[in-house]
Amino acid sequence: MNKKILFITQKVDKNDDILGVYHEWIKNLASKVEQVSVICLYRGYVELPANVQVYSLGKEQASSVIKAISRLLYVIRFYKYIWRLRGDYDTVFVHMNSEYVLLGGFLWKLWHKKIIFWYNHPIGTWKARAAISFSRFVLHTSPYAFAARYKKAKQMPVGIDTEFFRRRPEIPKKKRSILYIGRISPIKNIDILIDALRFLDQKGIDFMLTIAGEPSKSSEYQYAKKIKEQAAPLVGRGKIKFIGSVPNQKTPELYNEHEICVNLTPTGSFDKMIIEAMSCETPVLVSNRTLADIFDADLQSRLIFQEKNATDLAMKLGALLRSSASTELTEIGARMRQLVVGKHDLKKMIAELILII
């Protein structure tokens, strides 16, 4: 295919715990187009085809530079790259960060480049609204996302590599094990999960929770400290353990080791960890009402809890933990994978993206 794409994203790093999945997006997209030029804020470890070139704005080298100077350098490099590469792309695909559309939008319009903006956040800032106005299409995965209200919006599959994220029978499940995986951030509501587990512990229900993740920005460290203080009594008794961030390439092992996942991201976004867990046949409890459009009535009643309601989460989690000795969790997991393969596979997402670009 003769299409040439400029792909703009925050970070390209195959080993990143949160953003590593987008390395695979780029790799799969490259197999369907002539050329992919990537501009990212941070470049880490990459293994990409010959028709992909990655250009970093330099955050990986900026630790000793004053923040204001760093930002100015990022902007200068950004304009240098989009100018130098202007003959090497026909379509600009901006993933999540509205600032890039605002910086480049006028020039891209002048050069007749098609702008596609992926924005899946529940809240629309003025920057997001302005970026959407520049864009030919705005893409999202959740019908509750801010972008979904626009006529130019298109709902997309989440885009998970279901061949990589799959059940691995050689990895045994740990009985009564629960997994939280993702950023330690207020929006993730991990404090609600710990409250629910304290309730279950008081009722004498056995469990073991693994928390995999770290805060990703300075404003989240205070919340992380609060979470660890809240969890300390259960950590001391071996009921909760914090293992830090895990490279995305290693997360299938975690999903396969645990019987249950819990995701507390609010309705409006669509956390990819939900779909990864489902693809690995690990039942996942969620408060995100987006899943009501995917789950049948039985799965909704078992797996969707009221947002920020620790008591409701405890009741549903307790019911699943009591199923640990039966085949019920295995059966639910198999049903969940079928849903992912049918609607959210990476190949399906790339095929739909190709039709747009």
Does the structure show a pLDDT above 70 at 291? yes
Compute the chain's Rg from CA coordinates: 21
Tokens matching residue 274: 């939900």
Does the structure show a pLDDT above 70 at 184? yes
Q: What is the pLDDT of residue 293?
A: 84
> Which tops the pLDDT comparison, 325 or 58?
58
Three-state DSSP state, 181: strand
Does the structure show a pLDDT above 80 at 100? yes
Give the pairing type, strands 114-118 and 240-242. unpaired
Residue 63: band (very low, low, confident or very high) from pLDDT cuts 50, 70, 90: low
Q: What is the pLDDT of residue 139?
A: 97
Full set of structural domains in the chain with CATH: 4-159+345-356 (3.40.50.2000), 174-343 (3.40.50.2000)
Query: How far apart (Å, rounded) are the C-alpha atoms in residues 53 and 214?
Result: 30
Asked if 267 contacts 307 with a C-beta cutoff of 8 angstroms, the reply is yes
Query: How far apart (Å, rounded) are the C-alpha atoms in residues 190 and 227?
Result: 7
Q: What is the pLDDT of residue 268?
A: 77
Q: Is the pTM of this model over 0.85?
A: yes
CB-based contacts of 288: which residues, under 8 Å, 6+ apart?
142, 263, 265, 266, 267, 269, 270, 271, 274, 304
Does the structure show a pLDDT above 60 at 64? no
Does the structure show a pLDDT above 90 at 353? yes
